[in-house]
Amino acid sequence: MDVTGWLLRHTPPRPMVVTAPGGTSARVAVERAVLARGWRPALNPARTNLLVVAGHAPWLEPYLRRVWDSIPAPRVRVDVPEALDERLLDDALAALRDPVRQRTHHTEPVEDVFMADRAPDRDGLTLDELHVPLGPVLAYWPAGLIVHTRLQGDVVTAATVEVAGAGTATGDAFWSGADPVARRLDACGRLLALAGWTDQAVVAQRLRDAVLDGRPADGLARFTARVRRSRTLRWLLAGVGHVTDGPFAGDALTRLYGWLDGTGPPPDTRWALDHLPELLAGTELANARLVVASLDPDLEPSHHG
């Protein structure tokens, strides 16, 4: 009995979708296809077996290689540079379940190594300080964004922001001509996915797709009410990424509710990039991606000034 073949045939696909600058259209198309197939997305390399790259950016390859090397076998990479051809996903699934191809292409994972310095912590002790970059290859992460963090333990002590590949995107700014409700629902879905509420992230994506298609967003009020009722979500997001004043005053929970109700300010990528370092300083690393997602910066050409 071919145990490996049997296991591969019963391996569920777990796509991790990452976006290159200019790749939002491809990302949305991939997410639609993933929903239609009933596949459950993965949030990190350790849980994925399909690395799906939405958009095309040659400068991204070194980052993609590092992520690829950390994905355990079986694994397949899928590139969707522009419009999605569904056969790409069919072929990827076949490759994922093909023992010969998996044996041929398997290499040992190579983990990133982060260097530690010494720095005083908040209690006056001298502790190791790690330099850890976030991005640009992460699920539900702004395309082209790299946040360079310094960590003591699991706390971000300082952060700087880099926009990688600036000016190299070839796609159109996807949200420029779209209904703003669709973008808010997209942002809701990304934040809910990172918060671990996969079921409602899926609902947000389905509602987003309905709005993009010009169809009635049936269930929007029910979705909004359910998200607002969640005590777990309030506990998780309250106080995260708190802004003291101005149009973005509040925390990640406030911004999520603003997206749901359409009462929040329009997205401001420049504001987000300028304020991310101060918002991330003192934040636990586990919350850093929630802070970024709650600001929803869009680095495609017409939104990044």
Q: pLDDT for 152-204, tens place per residue?
A: 999 999 999 999 976 555 555 899 889 999 999 999 999 999 999 999 999 99
pLDDT of residue 198: 95
Taking residues 199-228, report their average pLDDT: 97
In the predicted model, what is the mean pLDDT of residues 78-106? 87
Residue 224 has pLDDT above 70, yes or no: yes
pLDDT at 117: 45
Q: Are 305 and 270 in contact (CB under 8 A)?
A: yes
- Select the more confidently predicted residue: 105 or 132: 132
For residue 102, the model assigns a pLDDT of 84
The predicted model gives 257-278 an average pLDDT of 94
What is the per-residue pLDDT for 176?
A: 87
Instruction: Name the range with the highest mean pLDDT among 96-105, 201-210, 242-251, 257-266.
Output: 201-210
What number is the average pLDDT over the span 53-66?
A: 95
Over residues 69-79, mean pLDDT:
95
Q: What is the mean pLDDT of residues 113-142?
A: 71
Position with higher pLDDT, 6 vs 127: 6
Instruction: Output the pTM of the full model.
Output: 0.89
The CATH class of 3-105 is: alpha beta
SS (H, E, C) the chain: CCHHHHHHHCCCCCEEEEECCCCHHHHHHHHHHHHHHCCCCCCCHHHCCEEEEECCCHHHHHHHHHHHHCCCCCCEEEEECCCCCHHHHHHHHHHHCCHHHHHHHCCCCCCCCCCEEEEECCCCCEEEEEEEEECCCCCCCCCCEEEEEEEECCEEEEEEEEECCCCCCCCCCHHHHCCHHHHHHHHHHHHHHHCCCHHHHHHHHHHHHHHHCCCCCCCHHHHHHHHHHCHHHHHHHCCCCCECCCCCCECHHHHHHHHHHCCCCCCCHHHHHHHHHHHHCCCEHHHHHHHHHHHCCCCCHHHCC
Position 82 scores a pLDDT of 85
Region of residue 129 (left: phi > 0; alpha: psi -120 to 50; beta: else): beta
On the question of pLDDT at 106 being above 60, the answer is no
Question: What percent of the chain is predicted at pLDDT more than 70?
Answer: 88
Spell out the domain ranges in the chain.
3-105, 117-305
5-27 b/e with 16+ CB inside 10 Å = b?
Answer: eeebeeeebbbbbbbbbbbbbbb
Lowest mean pLDDT among 36-40, 107-111, 247-251: 107-111
Describe the strand order of the beta sheet including 76-80 as a list of residue ranges: 15-19, 50-54, 76-80
Q: What are the pLDDT digits (tens) for 18-56?
A: 999 999 999 999 999 999 999 999 999 999 999 999 999
Region 196-215 average pLDDT: 97
pLDDT at 127: 61
pLDDT for position 227: 98
Q: Tell me what the mean pLDDT of segment 252-264 comes to.
A: 95
| Residue 113 scores a pLDDT above 90 | no
